[in-house]
């Protein structure tokens, strides 16, 4: 009641009272704890030395409530139970080997009675492989085991596909990282450039990360939290969810591969008759414009005869790849595409150069986009580089006709 009569100074005196009370209480605590027997207890420096951790790390564990103080004898002096040594080691093990965040570790340490079941459940949630997936090994040893070159491993690290850590002066990675390196090596050996592998793996990882996050949120809200579940029931839900999703993703990926492969083959099969029709139409245009020499070379290509002209020779080979197998088809198209994608070879004959540019344009117009042709750019260059405007107009009309 006395504070009711203090007027505007009430808050000031109240604060002073609290400060004096806390200081007096601390003095009393120090006096009371000074009589406690600290034999067998550890100072924080001794606890840090016994566990191989830094003092700052142990202090952080204490601050987060992971390690309890046995007795505090002063403002900056506390003692810890010998049991804390094993606790600190356990915390570090769970962090380093299972990558548990401190929030989960704290939850585990508070539920000692169900520690075994909790650990099994948390292992399942955190996808802890019971083999050696999270065990560490020197990065150089992993590279040797995977037969990966230093620059290849560096490319994977820069892309974030493997994440080594420095322990002392040695870079360490997990056995899981080593397995990723082996997958990359398998693709390199098969002829898949590492750049393509990094791009593909990174895309899958990014999309899977977002999808997995949504999947887990949905699973928790719509399945696990719908009613009370035992630890065993939750483990079964997670296990069944993982198994079925793994199989579903695998099945769908194979189906998509098959469908996209069929679409690609269909694109190729549509390309060939258009090229042949264009070749015949181009021959008529050349004859009408009295380009007899160039017309003869193109006629040889249409008849399947060899030509000294590289572009006409590739064109002739392309027209005859139907039924020769997918590998040969892709090989021939790739060779022709590389020759025509960027710029048609120049010759001493202006008429032949016109025909080259026309073949380049029809290729850019109808070839699958996977060959990387820029149709609008090639069309602009064709119009700009061809002086015979009648020829240009005739070729453009022919291409529009083939679109139908």
- On whether the CB atoms of residues 142 and 156 are closer than 8 A, the answer is no
User: b/e string for 78-103 if b means 16 or more Cβ within 10 A?
Assistant: bbbbeebbebbeebbebeeebebeee
pLDDT for residue 341: 67
Which H helix or E strand runs over 385? helix 375-385
Report d(CA 365, CA 378) in Å as an integer.
9
Report d(CA 274, CA 368) in Å as an integer.
13
Stretches in the chain below the pLDDT threshold 70: 1-36, 97-99, 101, 111-134, 258, 261-262, 326, 341-345, 372
Report d(CA 174, CA 186) in Å as an integer.
19
CA 103 → CA 61, 190, 212, distances in Å? 11, 44, 21
Report d(CA 393, CA 239) in Å as an integer.
66
pLDDT for residue 10: 43
Q: What is the reported pTM?
A: 0.55
Closest CA to 360 of 315, 293, 306, 296: 315
Beta bridge partners of 138: 172
Closest CA to 110 of 97, 93, 91, 137: 91
Tokens of 225: 């939290």
Q: How wide is the angle at C-alpha 149 spanned by C-alphas 148 and 154, nearest 5°?
A: 100
Report d(CA 255, CA 264) in Å as an integer.
14
pLDDT for residue 112: 60
- On whether the CB atoms of residues 118 and 109 are closer than 8 A, the answer is no
Torsion angles phi and psi, residue 82, rounded to 5? -55, -25
Report d(CA 99, CA 85) in Å as an integer.
20
């Amino acid at each position: 009641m006395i504070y009711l009569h203090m007027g505007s100074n009430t808050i000031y005196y109240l604060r002073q009272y609290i400060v004096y009370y806390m200081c007096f209480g601390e003095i009393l605590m120090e006096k009371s704890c000074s009589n406690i027997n600290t034999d067998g207890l550890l100072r924080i420096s001794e606890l840090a030395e016994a566990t191989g951790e830094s003092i700052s790390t142990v202090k952080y564990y204490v601050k987060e409530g992971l390690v309890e103080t046995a007795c505090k004898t002063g403002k900056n002096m506390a003692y810890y139970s010998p049991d804390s040594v094993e606790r600190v080691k356990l915390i570090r093990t769970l962090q380093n080997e299972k990558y548990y965040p401190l929030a989960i570790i704290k939850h585990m340490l508070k539920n000692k009675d169900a520690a075994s079941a909790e650990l099994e459940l948390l292992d399942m949630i955190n996808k802890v492989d019971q083999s050696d997936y999270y065990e560490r090994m020197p990065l150089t040893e992993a590279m040797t085991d995977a037969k990966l070159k230093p620059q290849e491993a560096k490319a994977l690290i820069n892309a974030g596909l493997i994440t080594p850590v420095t322990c002392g002066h040695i870079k360490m990675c997990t056995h899981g990282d080593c397995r990723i390196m082996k997958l990359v090596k398998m693709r390199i050996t098969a002829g898949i450039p590492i750049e393509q592998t990094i791009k593909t793996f990174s895309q899958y990882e990014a999309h899977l990360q977002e999808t997995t996050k949504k999947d887990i949120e949905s699973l928790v809200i719509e399945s696990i939290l719908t009613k009370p579940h035992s630890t065993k029931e939750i483990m079964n839900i997670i296990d069944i969810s993982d198994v079925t999703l793994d199989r579903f993703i695998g099945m769908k990926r194979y189906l998509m591969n098959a469908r996209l492969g069929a679409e690609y083959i269909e694109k190729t099969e549509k390309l060939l008759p258009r090229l042949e029709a264009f070749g015949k139409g181009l021959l008529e245009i050349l004859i009408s414009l009295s380009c007899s020499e160039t017309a003869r070379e193109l006629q040889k290509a249409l008849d399947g005869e060899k030509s000294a002209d590289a572009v006409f020779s590739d064109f002739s080979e392309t027209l005859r790849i139907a039924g020769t197998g997918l590998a040969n088809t892709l090989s021939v198209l790739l060779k022709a595409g590389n020759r025509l994608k960027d710029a048609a070879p120049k010759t001493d004959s202006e008429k032949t150069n016109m025909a080259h540019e026309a073949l380049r344009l029809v290729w850019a117009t109808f070839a699958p986009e996977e060959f990387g042709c820029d149709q609008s750019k090639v069309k602009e260059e064709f119009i700009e580089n061809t002086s015979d405007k009648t020829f240009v107009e005739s070729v453009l009309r022919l291409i529009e006709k083939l679109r139908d």
